[in-house]
């Protein structure tokens, strides 16, 4: 069995009023930056912060009374878990969620807050699946699979109905791919409405499972990715068949691009996206020529990023763009030298964030000392001006790299 357009329109009727009809908004900043007409479908505004609310609810509504009484079990890296837990709680259905051991803590606590029993097991969603199936059999629970289920795919396809109702003349929809449920649903609905529209999938380069499956390549998916929501080693069979028929291309994006896309989306459009949610923008960044001049819908599928990870992304972004720099300044070891450095940095408008005064452990003459200074600046041009000013004042200065610890 496969998913039809009629299945998706029926799903839209079933969940109407119980999920958020999320807006699709024009991003002037991204459009100007990439020479395209860029629209963002904000699934981050769902109750649980991701599109997973849709498919989870469609599946739960399809259960028999006996299945609802026994309860359900799901496997998830976080977003599907929250969607199942939230709607199961609303409908009075007991829910057990098996999550990979490395799942971000915020996703675990949010899932538990919706009343679900959470079990941590395995290194990935795929590794956790056999364990979940054993529990389902022992406890007579119904499996709510995150992507390999026709009801789930139909629910996710309702995203495309909304996008094309709001923006009828989209040229392309760019969709993240994990197990493939959301792109399979979107492709089915979108191609039925607008056969000429391009559907482009995006995978993290370290988890190219759908790309490899479609192209007959041996599986290589492994490792750590900032887009843990799409870190799937084996795509769903239902999704695989639909993707093979209807999806025009799959692009693989680097970790650097995803990280940069999170920062760019936050700064340019005031949208907080997790790694998977930022993957479509990462594809736009790494394939500018392909999308120029086109009207593009990016599916921002989720915003449940761990706060510590977000802090790291933001700080690393500031370093890469020259807005936070580390300087090593050689000074004479006498009173007033430190004050002179601070005065020169302030005269250019820099803000000292942190300073370390080394007399003993650096390879400098005994009457000199090294200062390691972290400075916040407006941009790289101001950073260069600060370095030039210090050197002009007889204070030998060089900028340290992110990992530079050499004397």
Residue 167 confidence (pLDDT): 97
For every residue of 366-406, DSSP letters joined together read TTEEEEEEEEE-SSHHHHHHHHHHHHHTT--EEEE-TT---
Superfamily of 322-400 according to CATH? ACT domain (3.30.70.260)
Predicted confidence band at 407 (pLDDT cuts at 50, 70, 90)? very low
Which residues belong to CATH 3.40.50.1100 in the chain?
Answer: 5-49+151-316, 52-144
Enumerate residues 6+ apart whose C-beta is below 8 A from 61.
Answer: 14, 15, 91
Q: Which listed CATH number (3.40.50.1100, 3.40.50.1370, 3.30.450.20, 3.40.50.720) goes with 52-144?
A: 3.40.50.1100
Q: Which two tokens stand for residue 316?
A: 């690393």
If you average pLDDT over residues 142-157, what whole number do you get? 96
State pLDDT tens for residues 365-395.
667 888 899 999 998 899 999 999 999 999 9
DSSP 236: -
Residue 286 pLDDT > 60, yes or no? yes
Residue 402 confidence (pLDDT): 56
State pLDDT tens for residues 244-272.
999 999 999 999 999 999 999 999 999 99
Residue 1 confidence (pLDDT): 58
Instruction: Quote the CA–CA distance of 91 and 109 in Å, as a whole number.
Output: 20
Predicted confidence band at 363 (pLDDT cuts at 50, 70, 90)? low
Residue 106 pLDDT > 90, yes or no? no
Residue 100 pLDDT > 60, yes or no? yes
Strands (E), 163-312: 172-176, 198-204, 249-253, 295-300
Q: Is the dihedral of CA 241, 246, 252, 258 positive or negative?
A: negative
CATH class of 5-49+151-316: alpha beta
Which region, left, alpha or beta, applies to residue 336 given φ > 0 means left and ψ of -120 to 50 means alpha?
Answer: left
Residue 211 confidence (pLDDT): 97
Residue 406 pLDDT > 70, yes or no? no
Strand partners, 203: 252
Instruction: Quote the CA–CA distance of 31 and 234 in Å, as a whole number.
Output: 34
For every residue of 321-384, DSSP letters joined together read TTSEEEEEEEEESSTTHHHHHHHHHHHTT-EEEEEEEESSSSSS-TTEEEEEEEEE-SSHHHHH
Question: How many C-beta atoms surround the C-beta of residue 126 within 10 A?
Answer: 18
Residue 362 pLDDT > 80, yes or no? no
Residue 361 pLDDT > 60, yes or no? no
For every residue of 46-105, DSSP letters joined together read STTSBTHHHHHHHHHHTS-HHHHHH-EEEE-SSHHHHHHHHHHHHHT--EEEEE-TT--H
Which residues belong to CATH 3.30.70.260 in the chain?
Answer: 322-400
Average model confidence (pLDDT) across the chain: 93
Model confidence, pTM: 0.88
Residue in 379, 326, 332, 382 with CA at minimum distance from that of residue 355: 326
- At 245 the three-state DSSP class reads helix
Q: Which of 163-169's residues contact partners 24+ apart within 8 Å by CB, and which partners? A: 163/24, 163/39, 163/41, 163/190, 163/297, 163/299, 164/189, 164/190, 164/193, 164/194, 164/197, 166/23, 166/24, 167/24, 167/39, 167/295, 167/297, 168/194, 169/295
- Chain centroid to Cα 378, Å, comes to 27
State pLDDT tens for residues 53-62.
999 999 999 9
Residue 119 confidence (pLDDT): 95
């Amino acid at each position: 069995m496969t998913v039809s357009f009629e299945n998706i329109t029926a799903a839209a009727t079933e969940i109407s009023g119980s999920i958020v009809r999320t807006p699709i908004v024009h991003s002037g900043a991204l459009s100007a930056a990439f020479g395209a007409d860029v629209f963002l479908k904000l699934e981050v505004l769902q109750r649980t912060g991701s599109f997973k609310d849709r498919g989870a609810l469609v599946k739960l509504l399809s259960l028999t009374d006996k299945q609802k009484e026994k309860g359900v079990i799901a496997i998830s890296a976080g977003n599907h878990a929250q969607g199942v837990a939230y709607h199961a709680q609303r409908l009075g259905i007991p829910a057990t969620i098996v999550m990979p051991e490395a799942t971000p803590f915020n996703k675990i606590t949010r899932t538990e807050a919706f009343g679900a029993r959470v079990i941590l097991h395995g290194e990935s969603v795929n590794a956790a699946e056999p364990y979940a199936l054993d529990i389902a059999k022992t406890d007579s629970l119904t499996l709510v699979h995150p992507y390999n289920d026709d009801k789930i795919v139909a629910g996710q396809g309702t995203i495309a109905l909304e996008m094309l109702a709001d923006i009828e003349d989209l040229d392309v929809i760019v969709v993240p791919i994990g197990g493939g449920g959301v792109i399979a649903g979107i492709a089915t609905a979108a191609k039925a409405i607008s056969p000429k529209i391009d559907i482009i999938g995006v995978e993290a380069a370290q988890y190219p499972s759908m790309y490899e499956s479609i192209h007959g390549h041996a599986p290589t998916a492994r490792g750590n990715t900032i887009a843990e929501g799409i870190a799937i080693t084996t795509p769903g069979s239902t999704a695989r068949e639909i993707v093979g028929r209807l999806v025009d291309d799959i692009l693989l994006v680097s970790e650097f691009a995803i990280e940069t896309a999170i920062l760019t989306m936050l700064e340019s459009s005031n949208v907080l996206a997790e790694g998977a949610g930022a993957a479509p923008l990462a594809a736009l960044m790494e394939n500018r020529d392909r999308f120029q001049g086109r009207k593009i819908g990016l599916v921002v599928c989720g915003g449940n990023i761990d706060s510590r990870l977000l802090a790291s992304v933001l700080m690393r972004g500031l370093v890469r763009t020259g807005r936070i720099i580390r300087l090593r300044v050689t000074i004479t070891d006498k009173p007033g030298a430190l004050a002179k450095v601070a005065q020169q940095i302030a005269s250019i408008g820099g803000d000292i964030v942190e300073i370390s005064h080394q007399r003993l452990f650096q390879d400098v003459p005994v009457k000199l000392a090294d200062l390691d200074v972290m400075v916040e600046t407006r941009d790289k041009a101001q950073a260069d001006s600060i370095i030039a000013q210090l050197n002009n004042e007889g204070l030998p200065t060089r900028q340290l790299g992110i990992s530079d610890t050499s004397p």
